[in-house]
Chains A and B, each alone.
Chain A
């Protein structure tokens, strides 16, 4: 599908598939505050793209610039083959699902969904048909004559999606669309949105601060921080191979241990961590300097009682300082010899029960799960809260 769009005419795009969205060198300043800083980004047509980042990172501002609700200070925004940077929101082939939905309280569901079509001057009977189809798609046909405040949160959310989708935009923008829903409903809507996207094939750009939501739905995620893109890629790539401390901490958790690269060769890099020698693939070293943060995800570490042999794996010794049994796994805090505490998520496979506080252990992991990041970056960047490592 992606090959076709570069050559396809706009008319062909508007009937499905959507168009590429290019954000080129875009900067947005509010007074002296830079919300978006020289951002360049391409969202391939037909993809489900997530802009992920903490609040205030500029993701919503980016979305609003694409929607036309803000004008960039510099740079240009291109949809398909058209420059829309300075175009009014109502003249763009873009529609938005607003945070908290912004359904018109004075109009019923039918009229809410028909709103955009009525503006484009489509005839009444055609509108009726379109709206009925769309309400069917979101499974709300029986609610057409209700007012928005008579619907549940999940239903309102589906109306908001229907109201935007019915216009067959090139790009559908979703601004934290699931933020107001409870956890169970959110899961359900994630699957639902993904289903709708696959069905209509329009480019979805989804802004969220919820990493799990982004990973569940999107096929490409761009992690944003302080107005810039930290890393962009498929969810698995971002999670398995983060390139900055921010991504490592914001997407899941990471243990970052100070170390240095001592040599490279044959696709492998040699590391020294507090006097311990380790290895890892060179391709996973994301630093030009030798001083690095050596990173491992907590669930990639295995925890064993001391004395076990760990041939071919990276390993450190430590003492358990805390163990929380949470059913599917046990989460340990382990103090390493130099005083740093790391987290380990262990599956409850052993029959003898979890280790307990004070047990001496060996932490070991596959070198291919190691990643190395520039040590000049803040090891706490993007972390939800400061953990107990000094």
Chain B
């Protein structure tokens, strides 16, 4: 996840220009400073404050309403006990986000592939269509899923009649070692007779909402693949599937990595889908942090939760990017 420029990529032509157009040594800093200052004051400083707050004591709604820094590590202990040990809300958030990310990848790939290779003159229109849903309020669209998944609706009917609902209900109800599926899905991934207010609805909502974040980077990296490479693979005795596995997919890995990050990170902290589509049992980290801030006023505990979420995400992302080894590609 290093933001360092990729070796040997697009950097060299810029060097040329830097020498011809750049006038003074201080020019870049003059251009940078207003925006970077904004990011420093309203992103960096708050992040530091968040860590400070997570080690403070006090409450917004009780006592003086002020906070004092006191190396209050008990906030972390509380967060750990309440949201990881007592209720696996933290694990749940990661699992939901992970499943949604995988679903997004499976769903978005054919779409991105079609736009990149098979759309011809419809390419621009299709790209507009991919981002168009962005423009209808995200909350309204999520809300629309309540209609789609309503108990007597078409979708649930079909799922019932095909036995899919039953299958999904039973399939993840097998007890396992910790973290067991039953701990994360105490009542199964979905109910026997309805989908709304079950984990499935939340996961479907997350998948839906972050689909464009997966599609666009996938498209961007697929689009850069020379179609002749795929033809060359078929010419060299690869079936369509082998060509995909050996050439197309490896070359699209940068997009896969970018897409999964852009989907997984926001999904892990999203409070909206769980609130609108889940039951009260489906509260995720986003909801927990939200509630601790807004309802309880326990800012230190909420901050500790945020810090934990942030640290775990950064660690997972770093590991993932290292495994995926994208810097070798391109």
Contacts and interface: CB of A to CB of B under 8 A. Distances in A.
Q: Do chains A and B touch in the complex (CB under 8 A)?
A: yes
Interface of A: 67-69, 88-91, 94-96, 98-100, 102-106, 115-116, 119-120, 149, 163-164, 167
B237 A96 contact: no
Contacts of A116: 236-237
B251 A67 contact: no
A102 B226 contact: yes
B78 interface: no
A152 B309 CA distance: 48
A98 B251 contact: no
A95 B329 contact: no
A62 to B, nearest CB: 15
A145 to B, nearest CB: 13
Given A104-B229, A105-B251, A106-B251, A167 B236 contact: yes
B226 to A, nearest CB: 6
**Nearest 9 interchain pairs by C-beta:** A116-B236, A119-B237, A102-B228, A102-B232, A89-B234, A90-B237, A96-B235, A115-B236, A106-B250
Contacts of A94: 235
Contacts of B242: 90, 119
A104 B247 CA distance: 7
24 contacts: A68-B235, A69-B231, A69-B235, A88-B239, A89-B231, A89-B235, A90-B234, A90-B236, A90-B238, A95-B235, A96-B231, A96-B235, A98-B232, A99-B228, A100-B228, A102-B229, A102-B232, A103-B232, A104-B247, A106-B251, A106-B328, A119-B236, A163-B236, A167-B236
Contacts, number: 71
Given A102-B226, A104-B247, A106-B250, A90 B232 contact: no
A118 B251 CA distance: 19
B103 interface: no
A103 B234 CA distance: 13
A104 B251 CA distance: 9
B233 interface: yes
B233 A115 contact: yes
Given A100-B228, A116-B237, A163-B232, 12 more contacts: A67-B231, A68-B234, A90-B242, A95-B236, A96-B232, A98-B228, A100-B226, A102-B226, A106-B251, A115-B233, A119-B237, A164-B235
A241 to B, nearest CB: 37
**From B234, B239, B251, residue with most partner A Cβ within 10 Å:** B234
Nearest to A95: B235
Interface string B202-235: 0000000000000000000000001011011111
Contacts of B231: 67, 69, 89, 96, 98, 102
A16 B296 CA distance: 82
Contacts of B228: 98-100, 102
Interface in B63-109: none
Contacts of A67: 231, 235
Contacts of A95: 235-236
Interface in B229-280: 229, 231-239, 242, 246-247, 250-251
Contacts of A167: 236-237
Contacts of B328: 106
B27 to A, nearest CB: 33
A89 B240 CA distance: 10
Contacts of B236: 90, 95, 115-116, 119, 163-164, 167
Contacts of A120: 237
Nearest to B329: A106
Nearest to A91: B237
A94 B235 CA distance: 8
Contacts of A115: 233, 236, 238, 246
Given A99-B228, A106-B250, A69 B329 contact: no
Contacts of A149: 8
B86 to A, nearest CB: 47
A164 B233 CA distance: 11
**From A99, A119, A167, residue with most partner B Cβ within 10 Å:** A119
Contact of A90 (B226, B235, B250, B330): B235
Nearest to B239: A90
A119 B233 CA distance: 10
Nearest to B225: A105
Contacts of A103: 232
Contacts of B329: 105-106
B70 to A, nearest CB: 53
Contacts of A96: 231-232, 235
A347 to B, nearest CB: 45
Contacts of A90: 234-239, 242
Contacts of B247: 104, 106
Contacts of B237: 90-91, 116, 119-120, 167
A119 B251 contact: no
A104 B232 CA distance: 9
